[in-house]
Structure 1
Amino acid sequence: MFQILFISFVACLLTWVYWRWLRVRSYWAERGVPHLPPNPILGSLTFLQKQNAGVWMRRMYERFKTPYIGIWLFWRPALIVNSPELARLVLVKDSANFRNRFVSGGAADPIGKLNLFTIKDPEWTNIRRRLTTPFTAAKLRILQDFIRSKAMELAQRIKVEQKSRIHLKKLFADYSTDVIGTSAFGVACDATLTGRSHLRTVTEQFTQFSVLRGIGWCSMFFFPETVDFFRFKFFPKTSTDYFKRVYRAAVAQREAQSHDVESKDLLDVLLKIKKESEEQNLGYSEDFIVAQAAIFLSGGYDTSGSLLAFMTYELAYYPEIQDKLYEYLLEAKERNGSDVFTSDQLADMTYLNYVIKEGLRKYSPMSWLDRVAADDYKVDDKLTIKAGTPVYVNGVGMAYDPDYFPDPDKFDPDRFTPENEQNIKPYTYMPFGEGPRICIGMRFGLMTVRFAMVAIYLNYKVVPVPDMPHPVDVTVEKRGMFYTPGEVLSVEFVPRA
């Protein structure tokens, strides 16, 4: 009798699962949305651990030249937006309905759950407003002398190591870690010259993607419900523990100083938030405060380091662009009387910024933008998505669309001359996002990259080395979510006469 009941139960369960699967599989077909048939387990996510999400987004865009595509995150329906008009609606006009990212950390991981990148509204709005202070143009000018000195150290490091194959991503990550570590938190760092520092140990662990950590990140971005069950962490536990110690030491040192000075950097702002939380009983824990520091360090060092690596590699294969950049910088140096430029001067260097803009078009670190609908949303006259539906704005797909950017695989800074830039369709170029959730560290990141570019290209010419892939064949990191090099990239640095 028990066996009969058990068999009946299993049969009913399998029947229900099969019926449920048929409903899932037909979801987008019933709504007339272009899609590929889903995998019974992974849905549309069969690329995970085999291909970078940004590369997959680009391939999906090329396969479906339609305003949107239906996909499945396992069995959950989601939408990819390929249209600049729809991108504007999601990111700006109707952003009130798309305030939150879909990505999320778990309750057991406060550092991963409570940072500015993953935190949900209304907490996000409050913390975003509080964190804007150190990223104003006026505040960033205070940091320019320090960042310039680190860029000069970068040129010195290259001089010492130029006869060996330099790992570009590591070189620039050493530099960007120093810049962020000291300018944001007052932590003394010397990785730019030596390749080693306490804080660099932390950032190296941030981007070490084992199979397990890769699965954890995939869960946070595409299936957050599993994060708590498997206790996945946004950052490795060893690195967050170490970072907490570094943070506490920096806090103790800062608190021993005068409390009446104006906030200058991110650490000052975080200390102010911590003090107000204690005075007003706002409930901001130490983990909450550390989470903001951790995400700024993690996001800032990796994005700037990757962009510099990709651009340096590209310029080695485009000597005519590199020579034009050198001549431009040399003329600026002669007009200035030295190579000691201010951040405002760098921001006004047109050709330098054309090169950086083109680097950001091809290698935007966050090549797609995730949001989740708070309420049912009418996409167009044919489609309404349900509340809770994840939406992915396919920035990388549009950035490589030849209708918007002819010959998109070519590295061409002239796309951004005034006469050409005015023809770029709005919301096809969004390296820092758009709308309320535009990258808070945009100015800081650009300043970091500009100083490094000037220090390098006034002093060195870069040329390809044997056995390295052409830029279009470079592997992108498969286990991470951001668009970063997935292999060692090297060039030869030849000193300028």
Structure 2
Amino acid sequence: MWLSIFLNSPIFLLLIALILLLVWIRKNQNYFKDRKIPYLKSPVILGAYADVALGRKGVYRTIEHIYNDIKFKDEKYFGIFVFHKPGLFVKDLDIIKQMLITDFNSFNNRYVASNIHDPLGYYQLFLLKNPLWKTIRSKMTPFFSSVKLKASYNLIEKLGRDLNHYVTVRFNDAHKKVEFDLKNLTDYFFVDVIASIAYGVEANTIKNSGGEFYEAAHSIFDVKNFWRGLEMSSMFLVPQISKYFGFQIFSKLTTKFFYDVMPDVIAERKRSKIRRNDLIDTLIELENELIPEHDSHTKLDIMLGQVGIFLGAGYETSSSTASFTLYELSKQPDLQNILRDEIKNALRKNEGKVTYEMVSNSTEMPFLHQIVLETLRMYSVLSTIDRECTNSITIDNGRFTIPKGMPITIPLFALCRDEKYFENSLKYDPYRFAPENIHKIPPLLQNVSFGLGQRNCIGERLGLIQTKTVLIMILKDFKIEANERTPESIEFEKKAMIINSAKRLLVDFVQEPVI
């Protein structure tokens, strides 16, 4: 009788569930051991990113710490646990090339994902899965062509002049130096650029030192907000749980902004039949080919997903690169003087104008190009390149078979700071990318910050063009100097998934035109 009662009691059922859970955990934890693959031992459930989940470290330093673990010094790859799931941490450049380029079809999805209850995040190109990813990518690629960007460069150049004016009017006879927050300043420019060339909208962020477009963009990556930090970390590190907690790639403020504003922009463009050859025109052309993957989703969701990622990725990544560049130049005035001399010569050659050729052709301003590449190396916009194995495949001459569904971590940030590939890797040295030196860098790492293979950053060309433009527009009229409030070194924001400084990048601007 008592046995019968016990067997039917909640305690017995809970005990059975606990035993099954422990058996599953043990089997899961032995995944790599059973296959004789070295692996990182880490806390059950939280896995390799326990320090990130508990707020002890940021993802950048965590990736760097794992990469430099002495136990794996000579390993091409090793096992990690992404939350509870066995994953592969890959260090070997040949295997990385195999995954991203040679055998792309077996790694054509990102592991990072949004949940189906967040259609704006679910459909944005960066996270989108095949085959819809391929359809949208192929249709959007022409928007980023050199022909299209050259046609819209007058808008970028004009906004660069607006930013230059914004800085200039803050000087007067009593102020020979004016302090600026580099991140805020460059944010204004890039939000205006994206709003103009992508949406055909004058956001006036520079003019107003902010505005609704700026707030919508800034809110995406506002990880100082605890909930946003938790959402972003979970999306990137443990995407499986996002649907259970209702996590979103875009904040509620950003989501509301896009659904309130952009449908009217799209409708007006259709009504007026005015063509601006921008992202809105591209999405309208694509609309008839879009097929939502879930009954609750609409074609508008897919279109707005691209609108959202264009603003988020287009402004934040370039702003980080530009602000870190100016910060480094404030610490190394010799490099800044060389770059300002190059700017002076280029302006004289072009009658004082900043032209598309100056920022699109690396041979026009080679030192500027080297500087941007060095910033992208030292301050990789993303800490990792992630992939999901979509077809089981064997690597390392048959030593290990990667099963379908396994997450892959390629430690971009750590690779770009590895002394094996970059001598004095913590030194900001643009000369490493000079023609006479670049052969010392493995070809795979010479320009890896935008990704590699078919899923590289679709906006790479635009990112370089707008970043170079803002650097020229500032440095042609102002010297940048470190002051007592400029950080001695960069400490990364712990909760940031896209690289960001934990401290404000405050520097002095000194009015000193090159011509």
Contact 1:67 1:82 in 2 (8 A): yes
Give 1:375 shift. 2.1
Q: Aligned in 2, Cα 1:345/1:356: closer, same or farther, shift over 3 Å?
A: closer
- For 2:187, the equivalent position in structure 1 comes to 173
Distance in 2 (CA, whole Å) between partners of 1:246 and 1:125 is 27
SS at match of 1:9: helix
Correspondent of 1:225 among 240, 251, 265: 240
- For 1:50, the equivalent position in structure 2 comes to 56
Distance in 2 (CA, whole Å) between partners of 1:277 and 1:26 is 43
Give 1:284 shift. 5.5
SS at match of 1:419: coil
Q: Which amino acid aligns with 2:353?
A: D
- For 1:208, the equivalent position in structure 2 comes to 222
Q: Which amino acid aligns with 2:375?
A: G
- For 2:174, the equivalent position in structure 1 comes to none
Q: Aligned in 2, Cα 1:406/1:243: closer, same or farther, shift over 3 Å?
A: same
Distance in 2 (CA, whole Å) between partners of 1:149 and 1:165 is 24
Contact 2:359 2:465 in 1 (8 A): no
RMSD of aligned alpha carbons: 2.0
Contact 2:290 2:302 in 1 (8 A): no
Equivalent positions of 1:48-447 (< 5 A) are 48=52, 49-63=55-69, 64-65=72-73, 66-161=75-170, 165-209=179-223, 210-258=225-273, 261=275, 264-275=277-288, 277=290, 285-343=299-357, 346-347=360-361, 348-380=364-396, 381-429=398-446, 430-447=448-465
CA distances 1:454-476 after superposition (whole Å, capped 9, x unpaired): 111111111111143223xx121
More deviation, 107-116/361-370? 361-370
Give 1:214 shift. 2.1
Q: Aligned in 2, Cα 1:8/1:197: closer, same or farther, shift over 3 Å?
A: closer
More deviation, 47-56/235-244? 47-56
Give 1:353 shift. 0.3
CA distances 1:400-451 after superposition (whole Å, capped 9, x unpaired): 1111110011111111111211231022341100100011011111110111
Correspondent of 2:478 among 435, 460, 463: 460
Q: Aligned in 2, Cα 1:379/1:361: closer, same or farther, shift over 3 Å?
A: same
More deviation, 396-405/46-55? 46-55
What is the count of residue pairs matched by the alignment? 490
Distance in 2 (CA, whole Å) between partners of 1:249 and 1:400 is 46
Distance in 1 (CA, whole Å) between partners of 2:22 and 2:268 is 61
Q: Aligned in 2, Cα 1:188/1:384: closer, same or farther, shift over 3 Å?
A: same
More deviation, 50-59/227-236? 50-59
CA distances 1:45-92 after superposition (whole Å, capped 9, x unpaired): 112233332332122212233211311112101111111111100100
Distance in 1 (CA, whole Å) between partners of 2:209 and 2:92 is 43
CA distances 1:254-302 after superposition (whole Å, capped 9, x unpaired): 223236x5x6111110111225559xxx996111111111011111100
Contact 1:54 1:482 in 2 (8 A): no
Distance in 2 (CA, whole Å) between partners of 1:131 and 1:456 is 31
Contact 1:156 1:193 in 2 (8 A): no
Distance in 2 (CA, whole Å) between partners of 1:470 and 1:35 is 36
**What TM-score, normalized to structure 1?**
0.94
Q: Identity rate of aligned residues, in percent?
A: 29
Distance in 2 (CA, whole Å) between partners of 1:245 and 1:174 is 22
Distance in 2 (CA, whole Å) between partners of 1:37 and 1:193 is 52
Q: Aligned in 2, Cα 1:272/1:194: closer, same or farther, shift over 3 Å?
A: same
Give 1:487 shift. 2.4
Distance in 2 (CA, whole Å) between partners of 1:253 and 1:8 is 64
Contact 1:373 1:388 in 2 (8 A): yes
Distance in 2 (CA, whole Å) between partners of 1:284 and 1:116 is 16
Q: Which amino acid aligns with 1:382?
A: R
More deviation, 80-89/216-225? 216-225
Correspondent of 2:38 among 34, 46, 61: 34
Q: Which amino acid aligns with 2:344?
A: L
Contact 1:169 1:485 in 2 (8 A): no
Contact 2:487 2:503 in 1 (8 A): no
Q: Which amino acid aligns with 1:53?
A: V
Q: Which amino acid aligns with 1:70?
A: G
- For 1:16, the equivalent position in structure 2 comes to 20
Give 1:5 shift. 4.6
5+ residue gaps, structure 2: 172-176
**What TM-score, normalized to structure 2?**
0.90
More deviation, 34-43/3-12? 3-12
Contact 2:190 2:318 in 1 (8 A): yes
Distance in 1 (CA, whole Å) between partners of 2:178 and 2:46 is 44
Distance in 1 (CA, whole Å) between partners of 2:419 and 2:405 is 33
CA distances 1:232-268 after superposition (whole Å, capped 9, x unpaired): 1111122211122221232233223236x5x611111
